[in-house]
Every structure is written in structure tokens, then in C-alpha cells.
Amino acid sequence: MNADLERLIALQRLDSAAADARRRLAEEPEREKALEARLETIRQRVAHAKHQLTDNKNARAALEKDVAVHQGRLSKYREQLMAVKTNVEYAAMQKEMGHAQTEVKAIEDKMLERMLEADDLAAAVKKAEGELAAEQKAIDADRNAMAAEHGELQASLEKLAAERAGVVGSMNRQTLAMFELVSSRRNGVALAEARDGICTICHVRLRPQVFNTVLKSEEIVQCDSCNRILYHVPAPTPVVQDR
Ligand SMILES: [Zn+2]
């Protein structure tokens, strides 16, 4: 095989690997954002549960105040009852006391309801906090994995750059310039495999003469359509070769 063609193939492999690594690195801010969003969702769930519990406590405090007011009224009535002179007054006072007692009973029922609800709400807070702790742990693990991957990607980029310098150093300058030009115009992919008479990237059928030249792997040939440098991968050698 033409030595420069062999180097071009190596160069493309290095460039593609470096592009993959850079793409993965570029995705990191988005991945971090997704992790933070996951955490935020559960934080909000915890905040909501706590808020409900606080509301419940406030409602209970308000009910306790109400009950105290009605009980105060009741004890006042009881004192006044002693001073009552007539049966009519007595009956009226009894009626008032009946009302106040009914009120107290209704509020106490509500308080009981709120107390039962408080147990459920406290349990919900505890559950949400547990979920938050578990999620935080999972996200810390994801962040550690991401940091480790970041280091690996940086190291591999450095290694790829060093290898590239080695390959480029021994290459014909014109061939390299052609590679760089096609690479910059074709989104970093300057080489295309030719298979069965077709450029496998732009899918255009090659002229038979062009394809035959590619098969020999002795010259540097570009695809007429996409300008990529063509190479041929020989089929695995069959046991019996009768060509
Ligand atoms: Zn092509």
C-alpha cells in the first residue's frame, strides 16, 4: 500500500477518535444540568411536603385558639348562671351554653382530623427526605464517574495529538494539505471507504477506472462527488484463493 495512504488512514482514525472525545467533553455541561434538574425535582418534593406539614401545624394552632375562645365563653356563662334570677333567663343561658359546647365539639373534631393528617404529612416529609438522600448519593456517583471520564478523555486527547504529530511529521506536505482541506469541508471526515464500486459515504458509484485504481491502493484517489480520499479494505482472505 502507498505509504501516505496508510498514514492518511491512520490520521483519519486519530482525528475521528479525537472528535468523539471532544464531542463527549462538550456534552458535559448538559449532563451536569440534567443531574442538577433531577436533584431539584426531589428538593421541590421535599419542600412541598414540609410546606404541607407547616400548613397543618398553623391550622391546628388556629383551631386551638378558637377552642380557647369558646371555652372562655363557656366558663363565663357558667359564672353568669349563678347570678341568674328567672327561669326564662336560665333557659336562655342554657341555650347559649349548648351552642358554645356544640362549637367546641365541632372544633375538637376538626383538630383530631388535623392531628391524624399531621402523622401522614410527617411520614411524607420523612419519605421525601429519604428519597432526596438516595438521589443525592446516586448523583454524586454519576458526578464522580463523569469527572473520571473527563480525565480519561483529556488524557486520550493528548495521546491522540502526540500520535497525530508523529504521523503528520512523516507525511508528504501536499497530501497532508489535501487531507486537511477535505477534512475541513467534510465535517472532519476526509476519507471514505470504496466498496463494491461505491463511495460508502456519499453513496455515489465510482467510475470503474477510479475504483480499480483504489483497489490497487497505490495512488491517492479522491471521490469525484464528495472529494474524500478513497481507500479499500481488502476482504478477509479466503482459505482458497483462485483469482
Ligand atoms: Zn464520495
pLDDT at 241: 56
For the entire predicted model, the pTM comes to: 0.76
Is residue 185 over pLDDT 70? yes
Give the whole-angstrom CA distance, residue 190 versus residue 227.
8
Local structure of 194: helix, strand or coil: strand
User: For residue 243, what pLDDT band results from cuts at 50, 70 and 90?
Assistant: low
CA 129 to ligand 1 centroid distance, Å: 58
Q: Could you give the percent of the chain with pLDDT greater than 90?
A: 93
Q: What's the rounded mean pLDDT across residues 8-16?
A: 97
* Summary mean pLDDT of the chain: 95
Q: Are strands 229-231 and 191-195 parallel, antiparallel or unpaired?
A: parallel
Q: How far is the CA of 157 from the centre of ligand 1 (A)?
A: 28
Burial class (CB in 10 A: 0-12, 13-18, 19+), 11: buried
Query: Could you give the CA distance from residue 217 to residue 126 in angstroms, rounded to a whole number?
Result: 70
User: Ligand 1 centroid to 193 CA: how many Å?
Assistant: 9
pLDDT of 216 higher than 90: yes
Share of the chain above pLDDT 70, in %: 98
Per-position DSSP letters for 114-141, written without gaps between them: HHHHHHHHHHHHHHHHHHHHHHHHHHHH
- With cell 459515504, the residue in question is 201
Instruction: Cite the DSSP H helix spans in 170-227.
Output: 173-185, 208-216
